[in-house]
Amino acid sequence: MSNPCTPPSATRAAPSNPPPILPPTPRRAAVALDKALNYQVCILSGTANRPLASEIASHLGLPLAAATVSAFSDGETRVAIDDSVRGKDVFIVQPTAPPVNDHVMQLLLLADALSRASAKRITAVVPYYGYARQDRKRHPRVPISARLLANLIQAAGVHRVLAFELHAGQIQGFFNLPVDHIFAMPILLQYFQDHPAPPRDARLVVVSPDAGAVERARRLASALDAALAIIYKRRSAPNVAHVLCIIGDVRDAHCLIVDDMVDTAGTLCNAAETLKENGARSVRACCVHAILSGPAVERIAASCIEELVVTNSIEIKEETKAALPRITQLSCGKLIAETIRRIHREESVSTMFTSE
């Protein structure tokens, strides 16, 4: 007989199959800890490339934070953060692409607004760093504009910079704060391994269009087990280049031109024509940043380039895509999102590229 002083619940038999107690997944546990400490990731964007910012936020399982970016009638930029960012780890996704000065100003004002709104850490995610080609004094009495832009970003209150494929790696030294520099090589390599030049056993030559792109071309050529060629050129003025000679054998080869950006496309199209004149069977090109200013679209459309592969570090307008059906755009959103996750978790970023 049961003890009358024992509560009824104590005499009940335990269920035969109790529900399992599952440990939380690492990601859920990390998100819960962030929420408890009020140190959550926040993704913010100006108007430079909202589709990329939305993609990055989606990969992280986050909404894109609300911000108002507009202009007064006199042209002054106006920004306002519409969500609370107090105590948060905020990442501003803002390439300084054309119109460069407007997008630079948006980045600076967003950083200042976040600093005054008590964000715990502000990271400028710069998929394309404008003014990067003005990284040294080529002539007397000229500025080092890339350094000045770095000073402005720091003065605005940014604590850290995440840069994607800088024109020159030494730009990292212009900052007196941590800079994480990531590369497009994994994205490009995967694409060209999946889409080799026809036929698959044909001779592939990776071509550097100038001396500055040799290291990038060398790494891709090594990964694709291809030969390397270099085009020697001379500049007579900004955006004006003249091809002088080709170092390497491109006859009867399928050529792949590799560069970090395509602006007016003069260098790219001249290089492609020179390769065809020297016996190349086909010419493709890949450039990380598709600026496509001035006569770039018309030049590429009229060139012998069969395919131009770029990333979405800079937003390409729909009319440009329609005028250039041979352009292929690869996404860098997942790569940047993973880098943001690692920065927030204080994990290594360099291990993402050590296999190259």
Q: List, by residue number, the catalytic residues.
A: 233
183, 148 in Cβ contact below 8 A?
no
Rounded Cα–Cα distance for residues 253 and 34 (Å): 54
- Parallel, antiparallel or unpaired: strands 77-81 and 67-71: antiparallel
Q: DSSP 3-state assignment of 250?
A: coil
Supply the DSSP symbol for 315. Answer: P
If you write DSSP's letter for every residue of 322-344 in order, what string do you get? HH-TTEEEE--HHHHHHHHHHHH
289, 100 in Cβ contact below 8 A?
no
> Tokens in use for 191?
């694409």
> Tokens in use for 227?
């030969």
Of 254, 258, 233, 264, the C-alpha closest to 308 is 258
Backbone angles phi, psi at 236, to 5 degrees: -100, -15
Could you tell me the end-to-end alpha-carbon distance of the chain, in angstroms, rounded to an integer?
75
Rounded Cα–Cα distance for residues 213 and 231 (Å): 10
